[in-house]
């Protein structure tokens, strides 16, 4: 494969279409396949093998068989495989970007940004692999020695969403490889192609057979359900909706399976009266329109001080009006299609509901005519506090604005949600920024920043946004368990 993007046909022809089990690409046991569509055109891109329960079991068999030998591979070697994978993904950045744009719809410029972001998890954890230290200490009474070590948790099931096809996979696979775990990856059925290509890259980077097994499927529950109940599985790492996450947590409780849950969000974006409004608008464009608003981190509620709300809305609308809605492969595209008709209908329903409830439509507010699932960038002012659009994830390019008067009111509005992934705060007052960090119930805070994602930072939420952290120093811990060995007094007898 070349460094430059291949033409679509050649690129698609290079994507493996089988299941990856024990180092071999093979058809599903049932012989079934499913189709992957381009959300911008509705055209079928590729048909790929459709794993069923039998394939799921074969994948876990392979992961379980490879676990012991993989855990013994020196951490430096595991790190070097990750580093090699980082270099290969970077060399093929244009291919990964085009593939993501084709199957998910995001504009090419954003897809390139995701390649950089996704690849960084490989580099970060190639460096962290060698730092999973334990400790040795003398017990307080001096009579014994305490040896504390970190060990790989064992075979993991990784389930990823469709919205960031590369980064959501590398954010799990890289720390699992660094920790010495084997894996079964269940990629998103709407965007499995990037994971297929990435798995081929991991093979090329030297990952031994059986360490990473990949089972795309159109029957997620039926195929992964038995794995979650299988006592050989030691970890479930899920990224997706809170609704599915809740169900998987219930299933995981049967075997007291260790879990990481990266779930939904409902991010507040708070603009204080002392904020630099232009900087807040620039942050809002990122926090809202990155990935067409299809991000767990997307600002879902703009909570703006009443004294600057008109100015903020006017400037925000002007910037939004510059965003060209077009197929992601077109050079001018700034907003691609939503993932499917169901998602677009839900976005429209939330907008219609807010408007019929008294919100003022400043711009947009409708699906775009023609092929693909495009939705107009939309701005709503004076949204009523109890509106559905403020309590549900919009997952589209729609920004609802509500106003506040006092800091206490901003905090109350921002925390008024079951979610707690990220919040954004714009203010020139550092003390106020710090206070908001202390008062907001979220795992992450963007202070005068519209994006917080960074491979070196612990990504994750509180409340119903999930459990655990991905990235940062914390990310590898999700794949390690602590073992303590008590040693008798070496001076006794």
Active-site positions?
A: 262
Answer yes or no whether residue 453 interacts with ligand O=CCCC(=O)O by CB under 6 A: yes
Answer yes or no whether residue 296 interacts with ligand O=CCCC(=O)O by CB under 6 A: yes
Of 217 and 297, the one with the shorter C-beta distance to ligand O=CCCC(=O)O is 297
Answer yes or no whether residue 161 interacts with ligand NAD by CB under 6 A: yes
Residue in 237, 297, 329, 442 binding ligand O=CCCC(=O)O, rule: CB under 6 A: 297
Answer yes or no whether residue 104 interacts with ligand O=CCCC(=O)O by CB under 6 A: no
Helix (H) or strand (E) holding 484: strand 480-488
Tokens representing 245 are: 């996450």
Which 160-199 positions form the footprint of ligand O=CCCC(=O)O (CB under 6 A)? 163-164, 167
Of 79 and 471, the one with the shorter C-beta distance to ligand NAD is 471
Distance of alpha carbon 490 from alpha carbon 493, whole angstroms: 8
CB 446 within 8 A of CB 108: no
CB of 231 to ligand NAD, least distance (A): 18
Which 408-467 positions form the footprint of ligand NAD (CB under 6 A)? 421, 461, 466
Distance of CA 90 to the CA centre of its chain: 19
| Tally: H helices and E strands in the chain | 14, 22
CB of 471 to ligand O=CCCC(=O)O, least distance (A): 8
Of 18-26, 149-157, 218-226, 289-297, the segment contacting ligand O=CCCC(=O)O by CB under 6 A is: 289-297
Answer yes or no whether residue 351 interacts with ligand O=CCCC(=O)O by CB under 6 A: no
CB 212 within 8 A of CB 158: no
CB of 264 to ligand NAD, least distance (A): 3
Alpha-helical (H) ranges within 30-149 are: 53-72, 75-91, 93-104, 108-128
Answer yes or no whether residue 163 interacts with ligand NAD by CB under 6 A: yes
Distance of alpha carbon 199 from alpha carbon 273, whole angstroms: 49
CB of 295 to ligand O=CCCC(=O)O, least distance (A): 4
Distance of alpha carbon 37 from alpha carbon 43, whole angstroms: 5
Match 């993932």 to its residue by tokens: 339
Of 459 and 479, the one with the shorter C-beta distance to ligand O=CCCC(=O)O is 459
Of 196-204, 210-218, 291-299, 441-449, the segment contacting ligand O=CCCC(=O)O by CB under 6 A is: 291-299
CB of 438 to ligand NAD, least distance (A): 22
Of 164 and 198, the one with the shorter C-beta distance to ligand O=CCCC(=O)O is 164
Answer yes or no whether residue 159 interacts with ligand NAD by CB under 6 A: yes
Residue in 79, 265, 293, 337 binding ligand NAD, rule: CB under 6 A: 265
Give per-residue burial for 398-413: e unless 16+ CB within 10 Å, then b. Answer: bbbbbbbeebeebbeb
Of 210 and 460, the one with the shorter C-beta distance to ligand O=CCCC(=O)O is 460
Distance of alpha carbon 487 from alpha carbon 147, whole angstroms: 7
- The CB-based long-range contact list for 33-38 (8 Å cut-off, 24+ gap) reads 34/189, 34/216, 34/217, 34/218, 36/103, 36/190, 36/191, 36/192, 36/193, 38/102, 38/103, 38/105
Residue in 240, 328, 365, 397 binding ligand NAD, rule: CB under 6 A: 240
Distance of alpha carbon 57 from alpha carbon 224, whole angstroms: 9
CB 359 within 8 A of CB 380: yes
Of 239 and 403, the one with the shorter C-beta distance to ligand NAD is 239
Distance of CA 166 to the CA centre of its chain: 9
Give per-residue burial for 354-393: e unless 16+ CB within 10 Å, then b. Answer: bbeeebeebbbbebbeeebbbbbbbbbbebeeebebbbbb
Distance of alpha carbon 9 from alpha carbon 481, whole angstroms: 45
Residue in 67, 224, 325, 453 binding ligand NAD, rule: CB under 6 A: 224
Partner from ligand NAD, ligand O=CCCC(=O)O, none contacting 160, C-beta within 5 to 8 A by type: ligand NAD
Answer yes or no whether residue 17 interacts with ligand NAD by CB under 6 A: no
Match 């100015």 to its residue by tokens: 311
Answer yes or no whether residue 103 interacts with ligand NAD by CB under 6 A: no
Residue in 1, 147, 209, 244 binding ligand NAD, rule: CB under 6 A: 244
Partner from ligand O=CCCC(=O)O, ligand NAD, none contacting 420, C-beta within 5 to 8 A by type: none
Which 53-72 positions form the footprint of ligand O=CCCC(=O)O (CB under 6 A)? none
Of 20 and 97, the one with the shorter C-beta distance to ligand O=CCCC(=O)O is 97
Distance of alpha carbon 295 from alpha carbon 73, whole angstroms: 36
CB 158 within 8 A of CB 195: no
425 burial (CB, 10 Å; 0-12 / 13-18 / 19+) is buried
* Residue ranges that bind ligand NAD, judged by CB under 6 A: 159-163, 168, 186, 188-189, 220-221, 224, 239-241, 244, 247-248, 262-265, 296, 393, 421, 461, 466
* Residue ranges that bind ligand O=CCCC(=O)O, judged by CB under 6 A: 163-164, 167, 295-297, 453, 459
């Amino acid at each position: 494969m070349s460094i430059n993007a291949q033409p679509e046909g050649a690129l698609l022809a290079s994507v493996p279409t089988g299941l990856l089990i024990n180092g071999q690409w093979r058809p599903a046991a049932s012989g079934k396949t499913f189709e992957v569509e381009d959300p911008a055109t509705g055209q079928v891109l590729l048909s790929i093998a459709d794993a069923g329960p039998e394939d799921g079991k074969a994948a876990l068999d392979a992961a379980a068989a490879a676990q012991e030998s993989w855990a013994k591979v020196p951490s430096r070697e595991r790190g070097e495989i990750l580093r090699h994978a980082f270099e290969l993904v970077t060399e093929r950045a244009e291919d990964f970007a085009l593939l993501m744009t084709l199957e998910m719809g995001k504009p090419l410029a954003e897809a390139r940004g995701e390649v950089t972001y996704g690849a960084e998890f490989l580099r970060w954890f190639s460096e962290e692999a060698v730092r999973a230290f334990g400790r040795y200490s003398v017990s307080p009474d001096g009579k014994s020695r305490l040896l504390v070590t970190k060990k790989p948790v064992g075979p993991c099931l990784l389930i990823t969403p469709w919205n960031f096809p590369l980064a959501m996979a590398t954010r799990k696979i890289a720390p699992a490889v660094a920790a010495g775990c084997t894996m079964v990856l269940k990629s998103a059925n709407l965007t499995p192609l990037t994971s297929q290509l990435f798995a081929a890259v991991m093979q090329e980077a030297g990952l031994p057979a059986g360490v990473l097994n990949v089972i795309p499927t159109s029957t997620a529950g039926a195929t992964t359900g038995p794995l979650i109940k299988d006592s050989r599985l030691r970890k479930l790492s899920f990224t997706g909706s809170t609704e599915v996450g809740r169900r998987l947590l219930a299933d995981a409780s049967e075997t007291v399976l260790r879990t990481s849950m990266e779930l939904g969000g409902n991010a507040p974006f708070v603009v204080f009266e002392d904020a630099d409004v232009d900087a807040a608008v620039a942050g809002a464009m990122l926090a809202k329109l990155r990935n067409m608003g299809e991000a767990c981190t997307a600002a879902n509620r703009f909570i703006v001080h009443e004294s600057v709300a008109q100015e903020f809305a006017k400037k925000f609308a002007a910037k939004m009006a510059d965003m060209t809605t077009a197929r992601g492969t077109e050079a001018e595209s700034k907003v691609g299609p939503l993932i499917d008709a169901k998602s677009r209908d839900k976005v429209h329903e939330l907008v219609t509901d807010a408007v019929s409830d008294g919100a003022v439509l400043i711009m947009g507010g409708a699906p775009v005519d023609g092929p693909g699932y495009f939705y107009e960038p939309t701005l709503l002012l004076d949204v009523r506090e109890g509106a559905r659009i403020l309590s549900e994830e919009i997952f589209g390019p729609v920004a609802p604005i509500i106003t506040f008067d006092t800091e206490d009111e901003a905090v109350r509005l921002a925390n008024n949600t079951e979610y707690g992934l990220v919040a954004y705060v714009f203010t020139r007052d550092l003390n106020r920024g710090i206070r908001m960090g202390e008062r907001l119930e979220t795992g992450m805070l963007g202070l005068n920043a519209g994006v917080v994602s960074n491979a070196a930072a612990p990504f994750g939420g509180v409340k119903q946004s999930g459990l655990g952290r991905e990235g940062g120093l914390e990310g590898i811990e999700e794949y390690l368990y602590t073992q303590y060995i008590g040693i008798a007094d070496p001076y006794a007898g």
